[in-house]
């Protein structure tokens, strides 16, 4: 009996790591593994493609798209006062570099039904460069 109990504990312990080993790659908003491979100066130029629709500070006037201040770690579709598509308003994720990377690569397929009229940034390096710029420029300085 004692032996069986011990065996059961052992089996449970052995199984536990497998349960928690589900890859949580880039689920952490503070993970900078994409932006760290980018060039923020080039990224600033790439942001010209977003500028018509997005500002980067909370106080700047809203354009066609929501302001992108404090983007990393923010709930998708969570900017108060912006009328999002149903797809983005109901999206249940936080903006991490990985999510932003996938969104920018193919906005349509990443989240079908969203209303961001942007074809996407096809080059992986462009996304890294833009991400490096956004990491620096979306953080609101404490007044």
CB of 143 to ligand HEC, least distance (A): 22
Site for ligand HEC in 17-76 (CB under 6 A): 49-50, 52-54, 64-66, 68, 71, 76
Give the nearer residue to ligand HEC in terms of CB position, either 28 or 94: 94
Token look-up 């956004």 returns 134
Site for ligand HEC in 82-101 (CB under 6 A): 84-85, 87-88, 100
Query: How far is the CA of 96 from the CAs of 8, 31, 33, 60, 124, in angstroms?
Result: 39, 7, 10, 23, 16
Q: Rounded CA gap, 72 and 123, in Å?
A: 21
From 8-16, 18-26, 30-38, 115-123, span contacting ligand HEC (CB under 6 A):
115-123
Three-state secondary-structure class, residue 94: strand
H/E element, 87: helix 86-89
Binding interface with ligand HEC (CB under 6 A): 49-50, 52-54, 64-66, 68, 71, 76-79, 84-85, 87-88, 100, 104, 114-118, 121
């Amino acid at each position: 009996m004692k032996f069986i109990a011990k065996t059961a504990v052992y089996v449970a312990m052995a199984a536990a790591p497998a349960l928690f080993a589900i890859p949580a790659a880039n689920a952490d908003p503070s993970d900078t593994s994409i932006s760290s491979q980018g060039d923020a100066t080039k990224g600033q130029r790439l942001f010209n493609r977003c500028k018509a629709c997005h500002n980067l500070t909370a106080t700047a006037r809203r354009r066609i798209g929501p302001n992108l201040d404090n983007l990393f770690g923010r709930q998708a579709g969570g900017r108060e006062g912006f009328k999002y598509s149903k797809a983005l308003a109901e999206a249940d994720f936080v903006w991490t570099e990985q999510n932003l990377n996938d969104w920018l690569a193919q906005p349509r397929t990443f989240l079908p039904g969203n209303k961001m009229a942007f074809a996407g940034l096809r080059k992986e390096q462009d996304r890294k460069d833009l991400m490096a710029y956004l990491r620096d420029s979306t953080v609101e300085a404490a007044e």
